[in-house]
Every structure is written in structure tokens, then in C-alpha cells.
Structure 1
């Protein structure tokens, strides 16, 4: 009973977070979804490509259910899954992610939560479906958080999912940011005096 509840709960959270991540691309130009927004090159469409690649791998080959499309070998990971070439389209990457979802969803639905799997690159490679569901949900949530920040940097849009967008009140945001800046400066001055 608790196994079914846990499996469905984790699966529902994963479905919601996947949708939220893809939604972060809505309304942005090709340049904005691809351009590097951090010193390491993190970009929105690259996050989607990365999660598609690893979800296909973790909820596929780990359980002897290989994804039906070629994936780069995990040993050859060179960061190529974290950015998108000029020849890869938004539709291709989102389509790849949706196909990875369908493949992963089939694995989750068809296997019991204690189904054994093997992750050769982990120090303790023998796992259960439960471990991998938590791992994939954690990774997806972490990268959705990155996408939240990147999107806010681009156009100020915030919110956890479509339909929950927060209206942009520029004056209120500027006042809130100024309050936080004042508090940070005051704390720094206090720390300088104490040291």
C-alpha cells in the first residue's frame, strides 16, 4: 500500500516538474533559450536536453529497458548534453524530452518500486526503482530551479508553472530588492566593525 502511494507521489511530482521546466521556454526567442546565461554556459534549452538524456538513461538502461534512440555513452560525457547546436531545434529537443518522459513513465508504471537496477558509474551501483525515481526527481527539480532563475534574469517572469505566473510589478520588485540590498550592506558594515 505505502509502496504504491510513494511511487505515485514521486511520479506525480516528476510529471509536474517536467512540465514546469518546459514552460520556462514559452514566449522566449531562439536566442534567449539557447544563449549562455552563466559563466559555465548554462542555458534553458540545454537544461531540457540534459534532463531528457539522463531521464532516458536512468529510467531506461539502468533497468535493462534501453531508450530506443541513440544516447551518448555515459563514459563519453563531455557536456554536450548541456547545450544545443545551431542545427538542433526547440521542437526536436522538447520532442526528445517528451519521448524520454514516455519511456520513463512506462518503466515507472510497469515495474514495482523495488525493481532492481544497476548504475555502473555509481559507487554503490545496485539500486531499486525507488532510488532512481528520487534521483531523477531531485535532478529535475534542481534544474527547474536553475531555469526559474535564468528566466527571471531574461524577462522577469516568475512562477512555478503555467497558470501560476506572478504579475510583474516593477516598482514593488525594485523596492523589495532595495530593502534586501540595504540589509546586506548593513550586515557587512556590522561584520567589518566586529572583525
Structure 2
């Protein structure tokens, strides 16, 4: 029970630091906001900030969604193709997180796309997501590790969903993100399955 409480408390502190950081980035700009200002706003020491986010960039990059998405992928029915499984998993994941986290995701996406200091690290984050999806697809198939085909599938999925997320952010989040990602993955499916929805 104590372990659960500590885990929840850590998650709450991490979320509080990130929320205060995003508000400051919106108000002052990413480059102009210091770690000390974020820590003060969140009511923690700067050392506590660094315990949760070893670098300032990570307060923008961090999310807890990828592991959730991986679990959704692994649990999809075995009869689905890899793309169908990921498409359904992404739809379910986004429907779960958007009601509470939509604004945070929009702010973080815009910061990642518009801040030079974060753009290169965004590529690294996309590679990590690709590897996570490839690993989830391998686990779902009972394979010990991703093969070339699985890695290519994961890379294509990340690229397609990235285009949808970028367009959604550029439009100020006015579209439904779940539909945008679903449409992007449907377009990917249509490459190999003419007439796919």
C-alpha cells in the first residue's frame, strides 16, 4: 500500500512540475524560462526538479502514454494485422487520454515543433516510439525481438501518425486528434490494401 501511495505521489509531483512548466513556457517562452522559475512555481526545489527531469528539455518530452499504447497493442486480437492492431490501440489510447490531457499534448507538440532546442530531440523521441511499437508488435506475435519487417511497419506507423499530429497542432487543435490519427493510418493501410477505409 505504501508503495502504491509513493508511486501516486511521484506521479502527482511529476505532473505538477510539467503543468507549471508548460504554463510558464506559454507565458514567457521556452528559452526564457529557467528551471528555478519552474521549481518555484511548482513549489519544489530545483534539486527535486532534476530528480524528475534531469534536463529542462525532458519536461516537454515526457509523457506516460507510450507504455499504455504498447499494452493496448499487445492485447489486440491475434487475427488483426499489425497495422490494424496499432490503429485500434492508438484509437483506444487517444480516447482515454484526450479528455484530460488534450491541452497539455497540444502545448507540448507545438513546443517540440517550434523550439530549435527541442526539434532534434523530437527525432530521438520518435525513434524511441518506433522501437516501443516494434517491440509491442513482436511481443504480440510471440517473437523474441523485432525483425526488419516489424521495424519497418513501426517506422511507417510513427511517420503517418506524426504527420497527423503535426497537422492537428498546426491547426490549433481544432480537429479531432483521434480521427486525424485514425485517418492517417487508414491512408497508410490503403497503400497495400486498395480501397481500405
What TM-score bracket applies, with the shorter chain setting the length?
under 0.3
Larger radius of gyration: 1
Please report the TM-score for the alignment, with normalisation by the length of structure 1.
0.25
Structure showing the higher helix proportion among its residues = 2
